[in-house]
Chain A
Amino acid sequence: MTGYIIRRLLQFIPVVIVATLIVYAMVFLMPGDPIRALSGDRPMSEQVQDRLREQYNLNDPFLIQYGKYMWGVFTQGDFGTTFQGRPVLDIIQQGLPVTLTLAAVAFCFQAIIGAIAGILAAVYKDSFIDRFVQVSLVVAVALPTLAIAFLLQLTFGLNLGWFPIAGTRDGMVSYILPGIVLAAVSTGIVARMLRSELIEALQSDYVRTATAKGMKRSRVVTRHGLRNSLIPVVTFLGADLATMMGGAIVVESVFNMPGLGGQVFRSIQAQENTIVVGIVTLMVLFYVVVNLLVDLLYAVLDPRIRYE
């Protein structure tokens, strides 16, 4: 087990190197001169432009730029600064808690609501509850995220006034609407996945045996049915938690949350290599860590799985 974890951790190194290189290359290859665009319609004097290019190593060829950046990261923990001189680490420190909180709230919504809806639909298969759950989930999956966001903002923010429309000024309450929006699609997928897995499990021999032994229905469903249906759902939830960082780009913009998603979007537009690489690397790391955790969780769910 320990050996397995160490091997997986060592794999992070090439993943991070390749990911940063690709991201750096993509931002680098974007056409146009970011320094030139800084001042908009109004031109900037040649000398100032030259000085800024020098300062941010923009005159160097691609690999040298990348090398200088990585050298700074590994020797001094210097993740670079924006074109305005603001350290990238500052930006990450400020944005990360917001994005993580948002992701956690969304994750709770999709895991809890998704699981409850899926179990109910499976246990009361073909009943009204099942149909109701299925229809509402189809709607949640089908509506574009932006539409859901505006709908919730208008209904619960503007008209009813129950939740703030935007920002993070009101603490945890501010995270509820964006959390629901971010979770909407996945909640539907989780519920449908769990429903079909659970229906299949409940028809299997071991469940019939357990029921025949006189076990209570609730215990049959949770201990025998659910546990065997969870592996694909956990895989999905894990992968989804990692991709949530991407969804956060839209949700953070619409709900005006100062997280990493909105930041990475603006930085790509402004061709701020250093921030994009910093944040994307963080997202990549997050993704691989979550994947590792998911793999380890399999062993808990199914003792037959062993790691060597």
Chain B
Amino acid sequence: MALVLSACGNGDDTADETDANGAENGEQAAGGGTVTVYNCEPQNLMPSNSSEVCGSWVLEQLFTGLTQVDYDTFEAGPGVATSWDSNEDQTVWTFEIGEGWTFHNGEEITAQTFVDTFNWTVDPDNAQQNNDFYDVFVGYDELVEGEAEELEGVSAVDDYTLELELNEPFSPLPMMLSYTGFYPMPQEAFDDPEAFESAPIGNGRYQMDGEWEHDVQIAVERYEDWPGEDPGLPDRIEWQIYNDIETAYLDVQAGALDILDTVPPNRLGTMEDDFGDNQALFETSSFTYMGFPLYQEEFQDVDVRHALSMAIDREEIIDNIFDGAQVPARNIIPPMLPQAREDACEHCEFDPDAAAELYEEAGGPSELTVYFNSGAGHEDWVEAVSNQWQQHLGIEDVTFQSLEFAQYLDLHDEQSVTGPFRLGWVLSYPSPQYAMEPIYTTGQSSNYTAFANDEFDDLIAQANASDPEEADDYYQQAEDILLEEMPVIPMWFQSMGVVHSDRIAHDSVTMDPRTFLRVEQLEVTEED
């Protein structure tokens, strides 16, 4: 049995088999047991308010949304919703809600649950951070401006039919609804959000065991009545909260912690020596780019932007500074997505001679100010990039502006950035739409370069209005425009180091592109 299990890794059937098997003979069990997992202190544990990893991956175990992403096919699969359909132009969507879903406290989940959750999240009085994901729904502006009480476009046709009406065609909707900010929330959450947060009552694979002990731990146990298809394997997951990753790394080495999903950069080089087979690198969608302030005259010439990109030897920097734990970016759409193409980028290849010629002809600036946020480990590589620019393009002087993140964003909002700047982007749901639309379409709030290109905007709109097969083609054309116009220099996609103790079966360790370790799939090989 154990052989079969380790051979087939992580599929749905594995889960079912282990579940049955684990219950009977608890000792030699793949599945079952308790895993202790590294975590950082979450900002909050409120689905509608959680926008960072530390909280979101806990919430993903506590809640199940309308849809769930299948990370083998990168498609939206059933969650609470069993099926869905849209009208011809992707503006009106109907979701059939599965029967028999309840919250962990027994409260039944119907279409109305989602209507209430969505309305509450968007209501500006509740100041929920995920509010702006809802701007696709008809009536969003009215509710946010205080002119309406409810989202006009969100309605329960009957107990098990949810109808969603959108402002614009949006084919990635089922994918987007898998995101944390759309999980259903019970009545208690609205009555007293602060009390709710200390022990969230969800509808997910796991339920809270006790309260969230701030800065110490969050413990959950498997919810046996979960009606979904692939229940979690461990009986219990304990997230141990650390404020220093170094310490967590030592704790995994000592066996006091089972798994750490973000090996600190200075340990990437030694993790193989320290852990042997109990370590791995996982490629993610976490994208680092150097943006151009296109509102500054020096950067309006596309040749200048190309030259700056071609003068960067990404591989060298990745080897020397990151111990190989980045994938050089040849694209904007993260490489693990099915829509991604290898080498889509003509101007991402290191070519110092061509770059120098191009830069000189275009009359690129001889002095640069480079911007990054401080205290996040960007100093070394930004300096390396700047050195390469100086060396290959004859730039005489580079000054660095390193600012605290809050201050850094202020500067962007004021459009007072005067040179290339570092920023990043992680996919909250694995759609090429999310890799591009929020950052590069005209007037979007994350569009820090002030890139404005009608053709690009049209292609994204067309893709959003098409069914999936055609959409991919439009997304790729849109990506081509980005790689040609180059509002940002694609730098690399981060790989995360994961190390674990002997208690965890190595084959069961996986991480998805959002940088979420799939904790519910971890198999415990030995009980202590």
Contacts and interface: CB of A to CB of B under 8 A. Distances in A.
Given A52-B127, A263-B215, A157 B250 contact: yes
A256 B254 CA distance: 15
Nearest to A49: B127
Interface in B7-49: 41, 43-44
A86 B214 contact: yes
A258 B40 CA distance: 12
Given A31-B406, A40-B51, A167-B240, A258 B250 contact: no
A256 B247 contact: yes
A42 B125 CA distance: 21
Interface stretch (B65-73, B76-84, B128-136): B128-136
Nearest to A47: B124
Contact of B251 (A44, A50, A165): A165
A165 B254 contact: yes
A262 B240 contact: no
Contacts of A166: 242, 247-248, 250-251, 256
Given A48-B131, A166-B247, A256-B243, A43 B407 contact: no
A37 B406 contact: yes
Interface in B390-412: 403-410
B251 A48 contact: no
A36 B410 contact: yes
Interface in A7-58: 30-34, 36-45, 47-48, 50-52, 55
Contacts of A30: 404, 406
B51 A48 contact: no
Nearest to B407: A32
Contacts of B428: 42
A303 interface: no
Nearest to B49: A84
A254 B247 contact: yes
Contacts of A153: 247, 250
Given A47-B131, A85-B193, A253-B243, A258 B125 contact: no
Given A91-B214, A165-B247, A32 B409 contact: yes
Contact of A262 (B215, B256, B410): B215
Nearest to A270: B406
B250 A36 contact: no
A32 B131 contact: no
A271 interface: yes
Contacts of B213: 258
A301 B404 CA distance: 50
A161 B255 CA distance: 10
B247 A255 contact: yes
Given A48-B132, A86-B214, A42 B446 contact: yes
B446 A33 contact: no
A45 B410 contact: no
A48 B129 contact: yes
A59 interface: no
A222 interface: no
Given A256-B247, A263-B215, A43 B446 contact: yes
A258 B254 contact: no
A164 interface: yes
Interface in B320-370: none
Contacts of A262: 215, 243
Nearest to A252: B243
B276 to A, nearest CB: 16
Contacts of A73: none
A154 interface: yes
Interface string A184-211: 0000000000000000000000000000
B424 interface: yes
B250 A31 contact: no
Tell me which of B129, B144, B404 has the highest count of chain A C-beta atoms within 10 A of its own C-beta: B129
A55 B127 contact: yes
A37 B409 contact: yes
A85 B194 contact: yes
Interface in B236-271: 240-244, 246-248, 250-251, 253-254, 256
A253 B201 CA distance: 31
Tell me which of B127, B247, B446 has the highest count of chain A C-beta atoms within 10 A of its own C-beta: B127
Contacts of A136: none
Contacts of A52: 127
Interface string B202-219: 000000000001111000
Contacts of A256: 242-244, 247-248
A254 B127 contact: no
Contact of B424 (A37, A41, A271): A41
Nearest to B51: A39
24 contacts: A30-B406, A31-B407, A31-B410, A32-B403, A36-B406, A36-B410, A37-B409, A38-B43, A38-B129, A40-B52, A42-B51, A48-B124, A48-B129, A52-B127, A85-B44, A164-B256, A165-B247, A165-B250, A166-B251, A166-B256, A167-B240, A256-B242, A256-B243, A256-B244
Task: Give the 9 A-B residue pairs with the shortest CB-CB distance, closest first.
Answer: A32-B406, A32-B407, A258-B215, A37-B406, A43-B445, A45-B132, A51-B127, A47-B124, A31-B407
